[in-house]
Structure 1
Amino acid sequence: MLIIHNREKLINTIIYFATNVEKCGKIKLFKLLYFLDFEHCKHTGRSVTGLDYYAWKMGPVPTKLYDEIQSPEPDMATALRFGEMAVYGGRSTMMTIHTKRGFDDKHFSRRELALMKQLAEQYKDSLAEEMIEATHLENSPWYKVYEIDGDKQGRIPYELALRQGELDTMLSHIAERKALIGALS
């Protein structure tokens, strides 16, 4: 039986980014997860965390995680604590992420770990506002759903991470992988 460790990978990815990136609040975390999942999908045909992202005004949002942060499931609550702190002289608040345990890399591939490290280094000192611009670039998956299709809060398909020439090949690989997973489950 094939076991997919998306949940463990999601929790450990949050631990990794919270530990290795400055000012990792909710918006910055969501951007990092989005970049990780869509960049990984571009090369492998699958995401790292298994999250679905939706095109909200401020960018891609993993809505299940967004909702869970308010009331974490037991496995997440034993690994992470979410809080808030005042920012901008008390005019606003930012979510804080406190880790309760260390990062565990046992379910990650070398490619996934390298991509997480690259993103953490690239955005270590970036502000969330700067990252919003990166997700809103013309022809980005978010842009295609939110701006071109006008599908406000619509699901962002992972296939949009691929260039048109790569799409057919990758869709074939994705279908083969899903069939294999179905056969092994």
Structure 2
Amino acid sequence: MAASSLIVGSDGKARPVWASKDPLLMAYYDTEWGMPVRDERGLFERLSLEGFQSGLSWATILRKRPAFREAFAGFVPDAVAAFTDDDVARLLADEKIVRNRAKILATINNAQATVRLRDGDGLAKLLWSFQPSSTPQPVTIADVPTQSAESVALARALKAAGFRFVGPTTMFALMEAVGIVDTHLVGSHRRGSSGVWASQ
């Protein structure tokens, strides 16, 4: 197996390079990444963190996730939707999170948009409605797409619903993270573990 594809760890499990060295990333890969998330709060949190990750490493966001959860009221949409200018000032002064005004404002805006979606089918149903009919079967990291027709359509639908920081690439990363697509490399011990794509 190509060195650039999978690394077999001392535990005998094959993982991609990005999840093979850092213990935090390894634990995230082994237990969380790609597993189905279908509840509103969980999806809002992941959507928010993907937005904050733009331009940064995922490891940075993962290390700051406990602080993000504390700062953003556990990512409960109703609570974040009610944030005021004082909360924005508080967040901009919080060194434990990513202090980016545009991303902070987008998160508050997206919480408000999430609450509005309850008048229809809700955030979870909207996101999962873009599940494709098949999932990629990448052998190497280079085979993993960065976006898809579905992520482009999802980004368009979210923007129409008032969301920000939801471009096609960010939405594809979200789809990977919450199990809507399975981009675990073929041969990885996690391939098919979500149960959503067990046969592919």
**Both structures adopt the same fold (TM-score exceeding 0.5):** no
Of Structure 1 and Structure 2, the greater strand share is in: 1
TM-score scaled to structure 1, two decimals?
A: 0.33
